Structure 1
Amino acid sequence: MRLFGRPQRPSAHQLRLSARPQRLITRPQRLITRPQRLIASLLLAFIALLPLLLAAPGQVSAHAALKEAYPAAGARLESPPAEAKVSFNEKLEASIGVLEVLDGNSAKVTNNKAVLSEDGLTLTLELPSLKAGAYTVNYKVISEDGHPVNGSHVFVIGEPPPAKDASTYNIHTQLGHEGHSDDALTTATLLLYAVRFLYYVALMLAAGCALWPLLYRSRWEGISQLLRERFAKLPAQALVLVSLLYVFVESTQIMVGQSSEEWLPLFTSTSVGQSYVALLLLAFAGLSLPVGRNSLRAVWGLLLLATETWNGHAAASSPRWATLSLDFVHLVGAALWAGGLMLLIALWYGERKEAGRFAESFSRAAWISIVVLSLSGILLTLLYMTKLEYLLITPWGILLLVKAGLVILVTVIGFLLRRRMKRSGFPSGILLKADGALMALILVIVGVFTYISPLPANEPVSWHKMGSEMHVSLRITPNVPGSNEFITRIWMFKSLGNPESVKLRLVPIDKPEVGAIEIPLEKFQDDEISTFDGYTKTAYRTTGTYLPFAGLWRAEIRVVDEKGVEREVQTSFRNY
């Protein structure tokens, strides 16, 4: 062995081993900084305290929850409350909070602001004197921990008026007859509309021809005796014939499916039947009126129009005094225009010179009639319809819009007639014929839309959804703003057991600012046969005023099974 001399060359394995520590030495070292140590310490402390926090939930701030409300949900009060209150189990943010009460049209009953109590737990809203009806208490608050809480519930004062929908104007419903529908366009319905058109033509001409001799009395004697007699007698005679046909067809249609014993009560115990009797008596009385007694004939014409107001939409609407008064004014304006136009056309063909003189008087009266028709028609529409949007979704509203367009055309023709009169002193025959044709079209529309409802029809909700683990059905009858029956049926797969709880909520979709309304369901023994193999059925129902106003609604049904698993289904529906 050589101790001294030339050194041995290292092997390749020795070179690899010597290279490793050199690479570690050249790599920069990672040092833990002070902020990192602080964050790590806090994290470890939180992990250590987490079991204690979970074990003592009473020491952790919970979200605010409604503790008490006045009026309470579902309360029925004999007298209106002076205020509305909602109390919570935790303090509320003083600067943020909404408490409002809505009426049956979903409008706020007051613009007063809710006041927060000194302890920060109760919101109080002072209320005006409220009428009988269904009201919604809606609240939206923020608890001091920043959690939003909102909801709504319904209470009732006295006996709410019945819901105003298509049935309000259905004569069968008013008389207590069920199972009749006026929507089908059958031969009988077309015949009814045709007879109603003839009736309104005869009524407008008879009343208008009775009113114009008094209005045009300064020159009435200048018209030939023959024309005056025809102007008085022919409309009255036509009214008798058409009234007999009208009463026969209408009463027959009303009494379809009714026993013969109910015919007499129809004419003696109902306002509709009594108006038929009054119409026939007045129609026959018109045959005996002297031609020269203009004042008496004018009173007769006004009585005819007053009788008609008691057999239509005005008599079924509220406030009744307003609708009846406006309808009477509307009919008077229409009669003056129709009777005056008939007289003008008759004079234009028979006594052209007198036609020029009468045209000036008729022109002024026609403008007044159009203004009266327009204003009274607008006011009646506002009283008939709960929402103006129904104009576009109901046949009544569409016909009314068409009628309004025809009235605009009548206005244009009236302007052209007046300009022609100023130039030549005589009306234009073409314009007179056009005016008469427009009058006929308007009366056709009147004959139809005075019989159909201005409001859409409500249909009961009957919804069912199938699922692999659960089937659900919901029935709401009759689905009107106000009192309804709610029935929910649940079919659970047998392995899941019976529902532990079932909740139904109604959410107003078109009023997102209003909270959901909870429907208290009660289990009942359902005798309706509806089974599915492998499923068990449970049924729940309640009856009450939980649909306070019309609109688009979403029904949410939440079902919790015996294992605590929650399932939710939804459906939407509308009422008017």
Structure 2
Amino acid sequence: MLMVGLPIGLIGVVLPAFRRHGADVQPTLTFVRRGLAIASLVLLAGATAFFVAQVIPLELELGSAEAWIELVRLSLLGQMWIVRLALGLTALVVLRWAARPAAWLSTCALVGLAAQATITRTSHSAAMGEGWLPVAADFAHLFAGALWGGGLVALLVAVRCVLRDDAYGRIELTRDLIWRFSPFGIAGVALAAGTGIALSSVHVADADALRTSDYGRLILIKTALAAGAVALAALHKFVTRRRMKTQADVRRFSRTLLAEVLLVVGVFAGAAWLASTSPPHHMVTHQMPDGSTHMMLMTDPEFQRALQIAALAVLAAGAVAFALEWRGRLESRAR
């Protein structure tokens, strides 16, 4: 989440706002640089934990070091693990030696995108062998969540730095930060929700599976946490920003923004758990006349169709909201 969304949020939201108001951006850059270094270390540890979590359900005989080496060398899971380790080390090297913020921010964003690509390469969607569309939806889902969540962290860091410095106007700068983040938040939420619903139509066979399977219950928990975060985001955009008139309002916004970030962190924790949980697929074996067997995935067509329509509706609504947001920006600049 941080490796992608935090650099994008800093480049697209925080830096332009600070420059416009003549604010000192160095404390924010220093904090973000340290945060990205920690995120790189987490990527290294998380890559290993994710690899082990994916290998354990396979129940392989791995009683020797040679067996593990063969697994890493020959399996896709092992190869993607090595790639993630290389990406994490690359980010650490660049963060240590690159002087220009644009260099280490852009590198971290690219490293994060590449790491997400390796995750989708070994995801449930890729394992199903249903073509490139579910895999692309998986990648878009991860990117959208990272854009939203990482951008929120960038916004939170900026607001906390604003509160520590009395040298410039806290209120107008904070209002500008919220205004600049809005299109990123709208795009991230709409794309994450739309692709998430679409992926549910692939991995959840029917409505009963949502409440009877661990996979389905995790989806419901993720949805509840995301709904809470979206409710706070709407409060910030439509109420908090307009009523922000005192420094106490800025401090209050900082606290509710932290709550929104924590909810999104919960969503990502649920997503990580979901990635290591088997989907509730109902498979039926058919014996063919030539003696071969074919495996078929049994689903509820009406349930699948309803989810697909809902996904398209969410994506369309998000596109409209994003367009209206940019139209309002262009009109305000023209005035």
TM-score between the two structures when normalised by the length of structure 1: 0.43
Distance in 2 (alpha carbons) for counterparts of 1:288 and 1:258: 33
| Residue identity in the other structure for 1:320 | G
Residue 208 of structure 1 is matched in structure 2 by 5
Identity of aligned residues (%): 22
Residue 45 of structure 2 is matched in structure 1 by 245
RMSD: 2.9
| Residue identity in the other structure for 1:205 | L
Report whether the alignment pairs 1:306 with 2:117.
yes
Which of the residues 212, 224, 241 maps onto 1:421? 241
Cα deviation 1:464-500 (Å, max 9, x = unaligned): xxxxxxxxxxxxxxxx51247xxxxxxxxxxxxxxxx
Cα deviation 1:276-327 (Å, max 9, x = unaligned): 1111111111123333324444333322222222232232134331122111
Residue 401 of structure 1 is matched in structure 2 by 220
Residue 482 of structure 1 is matched in structure 2 by 285
2:72, 2:79 within 8 Å by CA — same for their partners in 1?
yes
Cα deviation 1:216-254 (Å, max 9, x = unaligned): 35346555213213213422x223332333344444562
Structure number having the greater helix percentage = 2
Residue 280 of structure 1 is matched in structure 2 by 85
Structure 1 403/421 Cα, relative in aligned 2: closer, same or farther at 3 Å?
same
Residue 16 of structure 2 is matched in structure 1 by 218
- 1:157-176 map, 5 Å: none
Distance in 2 (alpha carbons) for counterparts of 1:252 and 1:404: 27
Moved more, 250-259 or 388-397: 250-259
SS of alignment partner, residue 213 of structure 1: helix
1:313, 1:450 within 8 Å by CA — same for their partners in 2?
yes
Residue 455 of structure 1 is matched in structure 2 by 280
Which of the residues 384, 392, 395 maps onto 2:211? 392
Structure 1 239/421 Cα, relative in aligned 2: closer, same or farther at 3 Å?
same
Structure number having the greater strand percentage = 1
Distance in 1 (alpha carbons) for counterparts of 2:116 and 2:10: 17
Distance in 2 (alpha carbons) for counterparts of 1:231 and 1:304: 19
Distance in 1 (alpha carbons) for counterparts of 2:10 and 2:285: 51
How much does 1:450 deviate?
A: 1.5
Residue 230 of structure 1 is matched in structure 2 by 31
Structure 1 386/360 Cα, relative in aligned 2: closer, same or farther at 3 Å?
same
How much does 1:213 deviate?
A: 3.1
Cα deviation 1:342-401 (Å, max 9, x = unaligned): 122222222142433212222332122111111010111112234344223211111111
- 1:100-499 map, 5 Å: 204-216=1-13, 218-219=16-17, 221=19, 222-235=23-36, 237-252=37-52, 254=55, 257-260=61-64, 261-289=66-94, 290=98, 291-293=101-103, 294-352=105-163, 353=170, 354-418=173-237, 419-424=239-244, 426=250, 428-456=253-281, 480-483=283-286
Select the structure with the greater relative contact order (CA < 8 A; seq sep ≥ 6): 2
Structure 1 232/547 Cα, relative in aligned 2: closer, same or farther at 3 Å?
closer
| Residue identity in the other structure for 2:5 | G
Distance in 1 (alpha carbons) for counterparts of 2:151 and 2:131: 30
TM-score between the two structures when normalised by the length of structure 2: 0.70
| Residue identity in the other structure for 2:102 | G
Distance in 2 (alpha carbons) for counterparts of 1:297 and 1:548: 41
Distance in 1 (alpha carbons) for counterparts of 2:295 and 2:139: 35
- Which has the greater radius of gyration? 1
List structure 1 segments (4+ residues) > 6 angstroms apart after TM superposition.
Answer: 546-549
2:3, 2:40 within 8 Å by CA — same for their partners in 1?
no
- 1:24-43 map, 5 Å: none
2:137, 2:195 within 8 Å by CA — same for their partners in 1?
yes
Structure 1 453/548 Cα, relative in aligned 2: closer, same or farther at 3 Å?
closer
Distance in 1 (alpha carbons) for counterparts of 2:138 and 2:29: 29
Distance in 2 (alpha carbons) for counterparts of 1:296 and 1:449: 28
- 1:54-133 map, 5 Å: none
How much does 1:428 deviate?
A: 1.5
| Residue identity in the other structure for 1:442 | V
1:209, 1:232 within 8 Å by CA — same for their partners in 2?
no
How much does 1:405 deviate?
A: 1.9
Distance in 2 (alpha carbons) for counterparts of 1:301 and 1:257: 33
Structure 1 287/483 Cα, relative in aligned 2: closer, same or farther at 3 Å?
same
Unaligned residue ranges in structure 2 (runs of 5+): 164-169, 300-335
Distance in 2 (alpha carbons) for counterparts of 1:378 and 1:226: 39
Distance in 2 (alpha carbons) for counterparts of 1:444 and 1:297: 21
